[in-house]
Amino acid sequence: MTMRRYAIAAVVIFATAALQAATTYRVTTIVRGRLKQIPSVERVIADGDNRRLTIEQQDEPFTHDVLLSADGGKTITALNTPLRTWFDFTVLGSPSRLKPRRAAEIKDPKVTVSEESGNEPILGFPVRKFVVRASFTSQENYGGTKVKRENAMTKLVWTTDKIDATLAFPAGVFVTGVGSIDAELRQKTAAIISGFPLREVTTFSQAYEGGAPSVETITTEVDDIRTVPSPPVTQFAKPAGCVNQPPIISGAPVVISH
- Per-residue pLDDT of 203-213, as tens digits, reads 999 999 889 99
- Provide the domain count of the chain: 1
Residue 103 has pLDDT above 80, yes or no: no
Q: Which domain holds residue 52?
A: 2-244
Question: Does any domain span residue 250?
Answer: no
Question: Does any domain span residue 99?
Answer: yes
Residue 20 has pLDDT above 70, yes or no: no
Question: Does any domain span residue 43?
Answer: yes
Question: Does any domain span residue 229?
Answer: yes
Helices (H), the chain: 2-19, 179-192
Instruction: Give the whole-angstrom CA distance, residue 150 versus residue 60.
Output: 30
**Number of residues assigned to the chain:** 258
What is the model's pTM? 0.85
Q: What is the mean pLDDT of residues 145-155?
A: 92
pLDDT band with cut points at 50, 70 and 90 for residue 255: very low
pLDDT band with cut points at 50, 70 and 90 for residue 95: low
Question: Does any domain span residue 90?
Answer: yes
Question: Does any domain span residue 105?
Answer: yes
Question: Does any domain span residue 256?
Answer: no
Q: What is the mean pLDDT of residues 10-19?
A: 37
- Per-residue pLDDT of 21-54, as tens digits, reads 999 999 999 999 877 789 999 999 999 999 999 9
- Per-residue pLDDT of 171-184, as tens digits, reads 888 889 898 999 99
58 against 1, higher pLDDT: 58
Q: Report which of 23, 85, 29, 88 is spatially closest to residue 52, judged by C-alpha positions.
A: 23
102-107 CB contacts, 8 Å cutoff, 24+ apart: 103/141, 104/138, 104/139, 104/140, 104/141, 105/138, 105/139, 106/136, 106/137, 106/138, 106/178, 106/180, 106/181, 107/136, 107/137, 107/138, 107/139
